[in-house]
Structure formats: structure tokens, C-alpha cells
Amino acid sequence: MTMKTNINHASVLLVMDIQRMGMGFLPDPAPLLQNIGKAIAAARTANIPVIYVVVSFRNDYPEISADNKIFYQIKQSGALLLETDEGTAIHRAVAPEPGDIIVTKKRISAFAGSDLEIVLRSFKTEQLVITGFATSGVVFSTVREAADKDYLQTILSDCCEDPDKEVHNILLTKVLNKQASILTVKEWADSLN
């Protein structure tokens, strides 16, 4: 079952967790970064706002509970994903331009611990165009939460990646396609013309 993409709705492009440190988990991040760059260029040409989402924490990680299995491991290792850490910066290949919005989150979903929903409401957003790393992380969590919030969604399949290719493919073809349209960046960019 595929959902129709309705480009008549107010859209935003989400560029999620494309941070320097995260790109180190991919054997070759260049294709992902190039495709996201194409999505950003298409969005800007169509006057679609670009919103970057990053994850970072304060020194000493006061936002992380010992009960949070994933993030507590980061807290214990120390010096990862701190606001002051260079690795939390958005990768320079897709760097924001003046006027782009950067949203900082504190968990996996782009909505968790961030002001993303307030920004989306201020833009009267109805359609989210999703890019990000990792498909099993921020993409999965954000799409599921956004679906519960009744946003229309398009996932750009070649603008998302996961360290596990099989998981990436299963999520896009068997899970997330029930809540979002799945297009390539070229298909989406062509639909804007």
C-alpha cells in the first residue's frame, strides 16, 4: 500500500542526525551526503524550509537517566555528543545556510526533547520530507511519532541510511511504507516541478 504524496500541502525537509561523528559509522557516507545535498537544493529551489535535527547533550549529561539503555552507554563513555564536541556538528557536506533552522533533540525521535513541533506548527506544516541517519533510529522513531501526530510524510529512500542494509530495506519496504510515501530524491525533486 503506497500513500499519495500531496505536494500542495505546506512541506518542510528534515535533515536528521547528519552529524560528523555519525557519518563515521558508514563505510562510505559520500553517496548519502550527495543525495541529501540534492534534496536540500531541490527544497531551496521550491522554497521549502530546511530543518536540521541534531542530537547533543550538556556537559555531564544531566538529560540522560541510568534507565535509558542506549543513551546511558553514551553517558558512561563520556565526551560523546556533547554540545561542545566537534563530532556533533552537522557534516560540512550538507551544512546549513543562513535562515535554515537547527533543532536539538535529546533522544532518538526528532520530537523528543526538542522544539520541533512548535517550529512545524509555526510553519503550518502538513507534510514532512524525511532524510536521515540511521533508518532504524531517528528515521523510524520520527516517522512513527509524526504519523501519530497526523503529518503526511515522504521518506527519501536514498537520503536515509543505516549501518545494517537489510534493516534499512526491511523498514522502508515492509514497515514505514505503511505510514509514508517512499520516493527517491530524484522522484521527489521531479514532483516539485
What percent of the chain is modeled with pLDDT above 70? Answer: 95
* pLDDT above 50 for 8: no
> With 90 as the cut, is the pLDDT of residue 33 above it?
yes
Instruction: Compute the distance between CA of residue 17 and CA of residue 23 in angstroms, rounded to an integer.
Output: 9
For residue 144, is it within any domain?
yes
Of the candidates 23, 60, 51, 66, the residue with the CA atom closest to the CA atom of residue 161 = 23
Confidence at 7, pLDDT banded by 50, 70, 90: very low
Does some domain include residue 88? yes
CB 181 within 8 A of CB 2: yes
Of the given ranges (70-74, 100-104, 110-114, 140-144), which has the lowest mean pLDDT? 70-74
pLDDT band at 9 (very low <50, low <70, confident <90, very high): low
Amino acid at site 6: N
How would you list the strands of the sheet with 181-183, edge to edge? 101-105, 50-55, 11-16, 127-133, 152-161, 181-183
Phi-psi region of 124 (alpha: psi -120 to 50; beta: other; left: phi over 0): left
Q: What is the total count of domains within the chain?
A: 1
Q: What is the pLDDT of residue 145?
A: 98
What span, in angstroms and rounded, lies between the C-alpha atoms of 174 and 82?
35
What single letter denotes the amino acid at residue 192? L
Phi, psi of 70 (to 5 degrees): -70, -55
Alpha carbon distance 32, 146 (integer Å)? 23
pLDDT at 17 exceeding the cut of 60: yes
- Is the confidence at residue 167, as pLDDT, over 60? yes
- Nearest residue to 170 (alpha-carbon basis) of 184, 187, 157, 183: 157
Residue-range definition of the domain harbouring residue 148 = 11-191
109 vs 147: CA distance, rounded Å:
12
3, part of any domain: no
Q: Tell me the helices (H) and strands (E) count for the chain, helix number first.
A: 7, 6
Q: Which of 5-14, 21-30, 82-91 has the lowest mean pLDDT?
A: 5-14
Banded model confidence at residue 138, pLDDT cuts 50, 70, 90: very high
Give pLDDT tens digits for 75-130: 888 767 878 888 889 999 999 999 899 999 999 999 999 999 999 999 999 999 99
Asked if 54 and 105 touch (Cβ cutoff 8 Å), the reply is yes
**Terminal Cα distance for the chain, rounded:** 25
Domain containing residue 114: CATH number = 3.40.50.850
Does residue 5 form part of some domain?
no
| Nearest to 130, CA basis, from 63, 55, 169, 183 | 183
In a domain, 65, yes or no: yes
- Is residue 142 situated within a structural domain? yes
Condensed to tens digits (0 to 9), the pLDDT of residues 34-50 reads: 999 999 999 999 999 99
